């Protein structure tokens, strides 16, 4: 009998599928011709499957809204970008790069600050001021000094309902720790930071979706570097939500907001309506994307 469900776990060639109709969990394999056709099911995929015997078979992967390579997951609605205040230190360049990749994949990013208790009061207030700029740009930001307080964690959980949520951000930023505060039964491995590299050790090995607060939540490996290989110079300015607020008023359609006359984004920058760090990172990324073109 043909049914429809979502893959919530992948393990050694088997896929656990949650049936849409009755929430039954069925272990399946992919049909043999998937490999020949170089189709690989991903956690998060909506699939048609057959489950007549003990083991079901995935017959078809339904069209994906989006997918990520790292972590390998499909049909994501939102991404919680866990960014640490210290150990590893806050980097607006890395945060903006992650946000751009998420926006490029049509996923809604939210920013969650961790480890701010390691900062002095003065440094914390400076960082809070920077994050207020992200809030003004249109991002939902969680930046309490006590990162894992119940009120803030509950407020985050309220965003999960009816969505597939991934946690991402640099390694060692505290994604697994945050998930353990959300649901202690997950018992996800957390690891100490490698001080020598100021970089986290990858503690999360496989992607699974967990049923939390009426939504599905994935714990995923972090990364310490990421490139913009799939983003074009034309697309880049559209991935900064605060640029979109003003770009409609630019003299030229497809304005890159660099040297063009009557650019409203640059006018907004001069008026303090756009953060200088965001604009500087934009120029940096534009240069990076143009250098890829030259190389290839």
User: What CATH number does residue 49 fall under?
Assistant: 2.40.50.140
Identify whether 228 is part of a domain. no
User: Mean pLDDT throughout 265-277?
Assistant: 97
User: Mean pLDDT throughout 183-208?
Assistant: 53
Residue 56 marked as a ligand binder = no
Q: Residues near 170 by Cβ (< 8 Å), separated by ≥ 6?
A: 83, 84, 88, 91, 94, 98, 199, 200, 222, 223, 224
Residue 116 marked as a ligand binder = yes
Residue-wise pLDDT tens digits, 50-67 = 987 779 999 999 999 998
Mark which of 18, 35, 63 sits at the end of a domain. 63
Residue 171 marked as a ligand binder = yes
Identify whether 163 is part of a domain. yes
Domain of residue 256, CATH code: 1.10.40.50
pLDDT for res 296: 58
Mark which of 187, 219, 251 sits at the end of a domain. 219
Residue 128 marked as a ligand binder = no
Identify whether 11 is part of a domain. yes
Residue corresponding to tokens 């992200």: 134
Q: Are residues 94 and 180 in the same domain?
A: yes
* Token pair for 179: 């998930």
Residue corresponding to tokens 């994501």: 76
Question: Which has the higher per-residue pLDDT, 115 or 180?
Answer: 115
Per-residue confidence band for 186, with pLDDT thresholds at 50, 70 and 90: low
Q: Are residues 111 and 207 in the same domain?
A: yes
**% of the chain surpassing 70 pLDDT:** 89
Q: Are residues 106 and 246 in the same domain?
A: no
Asked if residue 79 lies in contact with residue 44, where contact means CB atoms within 8 angstroms, the answer is no
Residue 255 marked as a ligand binder = yes
Residue 225 marked as a ligand binder = no
Helix axis angle, 92-104 to 276-295, nearest 10°: 70
pLDDT for res 191: 45
Identify whether 231 is part of a domain. no
Residue 115 marked as a ligand binder = yes
Q: Are residues 115 and 79 in the same domain?
A: yes
Residue 83 marked as a ligand binder = no
- Which secondary-structure segment (H or E) carries 4? strand 2-11
Residue 254 marked as a ligand binder = no
Q: Is the pLDDT of residue 121 over 50?
A: yes
pLDDT for res 115: 96
To the question of pTM greater than 0.75 for the whole model, the response is yes
pLDDT for res 221: 53
Residue 202 marked as a ligand binder = no
Per-residue confidence band for 136, with pLDDT thresholds at 50, 70 and 90: very high
Per-residue confidence band for 283, with pLDDT thresholds at 50, 70 and 90: very high
Identify whether 97 is part of a domain. yes
Q: Is the pLDDT of residue 174 over 90?
A: no
Distances (CA, A) of 197 to 80, 105, 142, 151, 177: 24, 30, 27, 33, 20
Asked if residue 172 lies in contact with residue 87, where contact means CB atoms within 8 angstroms, the answer is yes
CA–CA separation, 272 and 152 (whole Å): 29
Q: Are residues 199 and 258 in the same domain?
A: no
Asked if residue 279 lies in contact with residue 251, where contact means CB atoms within 8 angstroms, the answer is no
Q: Are residues 195 and 87 in the same domain?
A: yes
Q: Are residues 48 and 79 in the same domain?
A: no
* Helices of type H across the chain: 32-36, 92-104, 121-136, 150-157, 175-182, 241-247, 264-270, 276-295
Distances (CA, A) of 55 to 14, 34, 84: 10, 17, 43
Q: Are residues 122 and 144 in the same domain?
A: yes
Identify whether 57 is part of a domain. yes
CA–CA separation, 67 and 235 (whole Å): 18
Residue 174 marked as a ligand binder = yes
Would you call 186 exposed, middle or buried from its count of C-beta atoms within 10 A (0-12, 13-18, 19+)?
Answer: middle
Residue 9 marked as a ligand binder = no
Residue-wise pLDDT tens digits, 137-170 = 999 999 999 999 999 999 999 999 999 998 888 8
What's the mean pLDDT when you consider all of the chain?
88
Identify whether 180 is part of a domain. yes
Q: Is the pLDDT of residue 197 over 50?
A: no
Q: Is the pLDDT of residue 187 over 80?
A: no
Q: Residues near 198 by Cβ (< 8 Å), separated by ≥ 6?
A: 87, 88, 89
pLDDT for res 196: 45
Worst-scoring range by mean pLDDT, 1-10, 184-193, 284-293?
A: 184-193
Domain encompassing residue 209: 68-219
Q: Are residues 214 and 261 in the same domain?
A: no
Residue 176 marked as a ligand binder = yes
Q: Are residues 254 and 273 in the same domain?
A: yes
Residue 200 marked as a ligand binder = no
Q: Is the pLDDT of residue 134 over 60?
A: yes
Helix axis angle, 150-157 to 175-182, nearest 10°: 90
User: How many domains does the chain contain in total?
Assistant: 3
Residue 114 marked as a ligand binder = yes
Q: Are residues 120 and 209 in the same domain?
A: yes
Residue-wise pLDDT tens digits, 25-51 = 999 999 888 988 888 999 999 999 998
Residue 143 marked as a ligand binder = no
Identify whether 225 is part of a domain. no
Q: Are residues 240 and 275 in the same domain?
A: yes
Residue 137 marked as a ligand binder = no
Mark which of 15, 34, 63 sits at the end of a domain. 63
């Amino acid at each position: 009998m043909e049914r429809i469900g979502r893959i919530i776990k992948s393990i050694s060639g088997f896929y656990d599928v949650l049936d849409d109709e009755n929430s039954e969990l069925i272990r399946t394999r992919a049909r043999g011709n998937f490999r020949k056709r170089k189709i690989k099911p991903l956690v998060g995929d909506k699939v048609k499957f057959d489950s007549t015997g003990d083991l079901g078979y995935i017959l078809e992967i339904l069209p994906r809204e989006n997918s990520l390579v790292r972590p390998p997951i499909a049909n994501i609605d939102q991404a919680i970008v866990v960014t640490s205040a210290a150990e590893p230190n806050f980097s607006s360049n890395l945060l903006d790069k992650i946000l751009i990749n998420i926006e490029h994949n049509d996923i809604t990013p939210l920013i969650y600050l961790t480890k701010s208790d390691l900062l002095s009061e003065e440094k914390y207030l400076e960082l809070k001021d920077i994050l207020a700029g992200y809030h003004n740009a249109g991002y939902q930001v969680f930046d309490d000094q006590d990162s894992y307080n119940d009120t803030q964690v509950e407020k985050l959980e309220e965003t999960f309902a009816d969505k597939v949520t991934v946690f991402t951000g640099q390694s060692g930023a505290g994604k697994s720790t945050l998930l353990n505060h959300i649901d202690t039964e997950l018992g996800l491995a957390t690891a100490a930071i490698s001080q020598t590299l100021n970089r986290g050790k990858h503690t999360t090995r496989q992607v699974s979706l967990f049923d939390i607060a009426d939504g599905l939540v994935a714990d995923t490996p972090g990364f310490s570097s990421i490139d913009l290989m799939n983003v074009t110079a034309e697309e880049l300015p559209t991935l900064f939500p605060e640029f979109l607020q003003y770009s409609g008023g630019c003299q030229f359609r497809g304005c890159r907001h660099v040297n063009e006359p009557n650019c409203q984004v640059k006018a907004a920058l001069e008026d303090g309506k756009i953060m200088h760090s965001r604009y500087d990172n934009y120029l940096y990324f534009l240069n990076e994307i143009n250098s890829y073109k030259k190389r290839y």
